[in-house]
Amino acid sequence: MQLYEKTTFGCSELITKYYSTSFTMGIKTLHKKYHPAIYAIYGFVRYADEIVDTFHTHDKANLLERFKKDTYQAIEEKISLNPVLHSFQKTVNDFRIEHELIEAFLYSMELDLHKANYNQEGYEEYIYGSAEVVGLMCLRVFCEGNEEEYQKLKLPAKSLGAAFQKVNFLRDMKSDFDERGRVYFPQIDFNLFDEKAKKAVEADIQKDFDDAYQGIIKLPKGAKMGVYLAFIYYKKLFQKIKKLSPKTILSERIRIPDSRKFTLLLQTYLKYKWQSW
């Protein structure tokens, strides 16, 4: 069983490395004891997202429903022949991750199958399920059963997840609209996206970043550097987007070059080493 579990967590690690260089770098700077569980969480959310965003020639609704059913069965039986779900169920059971967080996440994935526009309430619900709960799952791992610490850091963790997701929405406005017909920001018309609307979105994101930082500096030592690296990466991406015109955002996908990511990694390491928080 030990060998089987090692290979399943290895599959989730491989998925993370192939899909996201930035998250892979962030995870590598966490204490090694956190690596398997965080890879497992990423593998799970990545594959669920893949169902709704990529498998266009298949019945996405049916695939997602099967994925959801298999997820809960794996958690209940504490085993799955799907390596991603096995590593995830082990993480959920070991760290007592609430099923409500999983349900909220899968519901947001379901919304991507049919919903293209959101009002404020729906937007906040989607942000919670697609991003904030992922931060809370990771926080359960970082706190290792310390309920008092988890409750203290819960709100900043949600803010960090929200900031990341909203930056993603800005970065991907063109592809989300062109390929999937989606506009996540409430009361915003893709064809009328102007400087005023952009600044309103940016002010909301900035508040999330500010709130999130207050939690990052209080994280357990082994988690702080990795989370801070992800924070800095998204902050730099956000700052780059802020300098661009609405027209540019609507015409191309914004990214940070890999060379710049490695520079950020080095800067983060030095900040952590010298504890200049």
2-273 fold: Farnesyl Diphosphate Synthase (1.10.600)
- The model carries a pTM of 0.90
CA–CA gap between residue 182 and residue 161 (Å, rounded): 20
Per the structure block, which two tokens stand in for 51?
């169902």
Q: Count the helix, strand and coil residues of the chain and give each as a percent rounded to the nearest 5.
A: 80, 0, 20
- pLDDT of the residue at 277: 52
What's the chain's average pLDDT?
91
- pLDDT of the residue at 76: 98
Burial of 189 (0-12, 13-18, 19+ CB in 10 A): exposed
Burial of 49 (0-12, 13-18, 19+ CB in 10 A): middle
Segment 143-161, tens digit of pLDDT: 999 999 999 999 999 999 9
For the chain, which residues make up each domain, given as ranges? 2-273
pLDDT surpassing 70 at residue 268: no
- pLDDT of the residue at 24: 85
Cβ burial 165-179 (10 Å sphere, 16+ → b, else e): bbbbbbbbbbebbee
Average pLDDT of span 222-226: 91
Per the structure block, which two tokens stand in for 268?
């983060």
Segment 37-95, tens digit of pLDDT: 999 999 999 999 999 999 999 999 999 999 999 999 999 999 999 999 999 999 999 99
Helix axes 21-28, 35-54, angle to 10 degrees: 170
CA–CA gap between residue 6 and residue 248 (Å, rounded): 45
Per the structure block, which two tokens stand in for 82?
């799907």
